[in-house]
A and B are shown apart, each in its own frame.
Chain A
Amino acid sequence: MEFVLEARGLCKSYLENRALKPLNLSLQQGEIFSLLGPNGAGKSTTINLFLGFIKPSSGAAYINGIEVARNPVEIKRYLAYIPEQVVLYPNLTGLENLSLLSCLAGYRYNKQELRGLLMKAGLQSEAIDRYTGGYSKGMRQKVGIAGALAKKAKVLLLDEPTSGLDPKASNEFSVLLQQLSEEGTAVFMATHDIFRAREVSTRIGIMKAGELVHELRSGDMDANELEKLYLNYMHD
């Protein structure tokens, strides 16, 4: 079985500080993996290593079987990234932002197709031609999702996607992720939201002080049990 996202002994240290202890992890097509953990646990470091924004101290990250650190530009053809605050060019419209992102990814869509992608990502049609300077976080996230759809990403990396979203937007977002997963995209997200993680994910990991301390299938326990388990780890 080919893994679309894989970490083999992936490790990152800054001087004496070990931001990420050797991590082994692999995701197949369509899997949704949620990484739980407090601030500073190493979740964002892990995402940045998969993005190639930072270089591993040892071990390696792979996207679609390609080593990230050696091919930092190429892997981005298979990967989409939605940061905690999706930032778009404020003086471009939603459509122009998506056009920019998809052109950079190497795709040429006409306006109708771009519009369709934004609608599929759940953006209200009247917002499409407005400057994104006035968008809410949820709307900007939808442009980000449309960007992932546009490049037919095999892997979607998300950093705290639901923080700051209202429950309705948060729910819409979960539905979107499940759609993407059904279409075969593997999703890897860092989150604090135990309830959402339990609901949307296929697998869940708990990270503490740079170490993946527990891994489970989300069907293994309900949200309360998961919260208890998480808190147990944090109290140690």
Chain B
Amino acid sequence: MRHRILATLLYTEWLSFKREKSLLLFTLLLLAAGFYGIYSGHAEISRQRTKLAGLEQLYQDNISEMNAKYPDGADAGDIGYYHSAFARNLPDSWAALSIGQRDANPYYIKLRLLAVQNQLYNSENTNPDKLASGTFDLAFVLVYILPLFIVAICFNIYSAEKERGTLGSILSQPVSLSALLFAKFLFRFLLILTLVIFLSLVGISVNTATADSRLWLWIGGTVLYSLFWLGVCYVIVVLKKNSAFNAVSLLGLWLLFTVIMPVTFNVIIQIRQPLSEGLQLTLKQREEVHAGWDRPKEQTMQRFFTYYPKYRNTPEIGARFEWKWYYAFQELGDRSVDSLYKVYSHKLKSRSHLTSELSKLSPPATFQLFLNALCGTDIRAQLDFMESAVQYHNKLKAFYYPYLFYKKPFLESDFAFEPRHAHQSVADRNAIYPALIAMLIAFLAVLFAGAVLQLLVSSEIR
């Protein structure tokens, strides 16, 4: 009897859905936004992949140029100055689904043997307007547009029946109000489930993302996030207010969770953890490098040898310009900001930690972080790449310094031994489960709030 009533109510919802043009329109809009998100994310990552693949050609061209310029072998100092190598941040196969930090931060870095600190932050010019709004990817559709869709199909679940007058007809049958609301929410949940699974599968197959365990995490997280928003609608619906009130309050909550809270978190983070080291670091390193020209050469070399005692017994510096002295004060420039750089990196990490902690209060922010973590595009992945670029620069130094200090000529064939770099972004597994748990708690909290309100609000139907 009970499940027959449920089946009847679901079937009625289905008939109404099919024939209600506005609902169909909302569904088509969500699908259209989803397809565009998938396309646009795919386009951005394809562009990055093409660019990354093209770097190899630039690199080889540069080597040919060097060989043409120095046909009989070169001073490694010239090579270090005029030749550039690349640190590459290769996207994960899921990256196009959630671009995350990959559009706002460099995904490759052109490196020369010079001081590394001011090379790390050089990147291509991008229209800042475009960066401010972020790339329109599937994650954007799921985080921001899906809740609007859920609100649009749920805000008047009760009030529309009441305002139209059909509530009396239904409730004069042996059906309780709770059963009616449950059926309506269940129908909408099934609709949302179908849509998000469909969009996710399309996104995954278009981008040929590896269908590993992340497939389940992606879908599970999205379902949990949808349930949270259904719960928010439930909280407002059980108040039994009119449609206008419901629509306005749900849009207000959407604005609160997706815009106001994240902006507030940003302000809190800026106040609680100011990051002045970035500028200090750049200035100090630059001063140190420039001062290198004016300092006595011998003093520079002695300071350099404290870091590289093995080169202490190499030929002394003459009065003329010598590359090894030049690179020595470049290196000293980096060394002078070593501790600042450590503080800076540490602060970036603890900022990202604070961000994810605060974000737990806003399910959209958590969900965005969750998707970025899953796709290897979060801050953590970006910091890992920067770290590995610095390591790569160290390898380059270790490769070139012996040529400089032992006065070995750099031959055409030596390029084959130059270290190469490619960093593969990976999912941030440590961030995935805490985010899922935070979303689960948020869902249970709204469900609980709704249930309490349902008990408090008068059960009378007038």
Q: A residues bordering B, Cβ < 8 Å?
A: 48, 51, 53-55, 72-74, 76-77, 79-81, 83, 85-92, 96, 100-101, 103-106, 131, 144, 147, 151, 157
Contacts and interface: CB of A to CB of B under 8 A. Distances in A.
B165 A85 contact: yes
Given A83-B165, A89-B12, A76 B461 contact: no
A51 B461 CA distance: 10
A48 B167 CA distance: 13
Interface in B92-141: none
6 contacts: A48-B461, A51-B171, A55-B459, A76-B171, A104-B174, A131-B19
A79 to B, nearest CB: 7
A73 B168 contact: no
A104 B166 contact: no
Given A89-B16, A106-B1, A106-B4, A53 B461 contact: yes
Contact of A91 (B16, B165, B170, B459): B16
Interface-centre pick from B4, B164, B173, B460 (highest chain A CB count, 10 A): B173
Contact of B175 (A53, A54, A73, A92): A73
Nearest to B173: A104
Contacts of A83: 165, 168-169
A48 B460 CA distance: 10
A90 B21 CA distance: 13
Interface in B148-180: 164-166, 168-176
A86 B15 CA distance: 20
Contacts of A151: 173
A51 B174 CA distance: 11
B294 interface: no
A87 B164 contact: yes
A88 B168 CA distance: 10
Contacts of B172: 51, 76, 79-81, 157
A80 B8 CA distance: 19
Contact of A87 (B165, B175, B459, B462): B165
Nearest to B178: A73
Interface string B190-216: 000000000000000000000000000
B174 A77 contact: yes
Contact of B169 (A73, A77, A87): A87
B168 A87 contact: yes
Contacts of A81: 168-169, 172
A236 to B, nearest CB: 29
A80 B172 CA distance: 7
A55 B462 CA distance: 11
A53 B169 CA distance: 12
A61 to B, nearest CB: 14
A101 B12 CA distance: 10
B9 interface: yes
B168 A103 contact: no
Nearest to A102: B173
Contacts of A55: 459-460
A54 B169 contact: no
B173 A76 contact: yes
A76 B176 CA distance: 10
B81 to A, nearest CB: 75
Interface string B428-462: 00000000000000000000000000000001111
B5 interface: yes
Contacts of A72: 176
Given A48-B462, A54-B461, A96-B15, A104 B176 contact: no
B198 to A, nearest CB: 25
B20 interface: yes
Contacts of A89: 12, 15-16, 166
Q: Which of A79, A87, A96, A101 gathers the greatest number of chain B CB atoms within 10 Å?
A: A87
Contacts of B4: 103, 106
Given A54-B461, A89-B16, A106 B174 contact: yes
Contact of B173 (A86, A90, A91, A105): A105
B462 A73 contact: no
A53 B460 CA distance: 5
Contacts of A86: 169
Given A73-B174, A74-B174, 8 more contacts: A51-B172, A54-B461, A55-B459, A76-B174, A79-B172, A87-B169, A100-B8, A104-B5
Given A89-B16, A104-B5, A73 B176 contact: yes
Contact of A100 (B1, B12, B460): B12
Contacts of A106: 1, 4-5, 174
A118 to B, nearest CB: 15
Nearest to A87: B165
A81 B459 CA distance: 19
Contacts of B460: 53-55
Contacts of B19: 91-92, 131
Contact of B170 (A54, A74, A92, A104): A104
Nearest to B164: A87
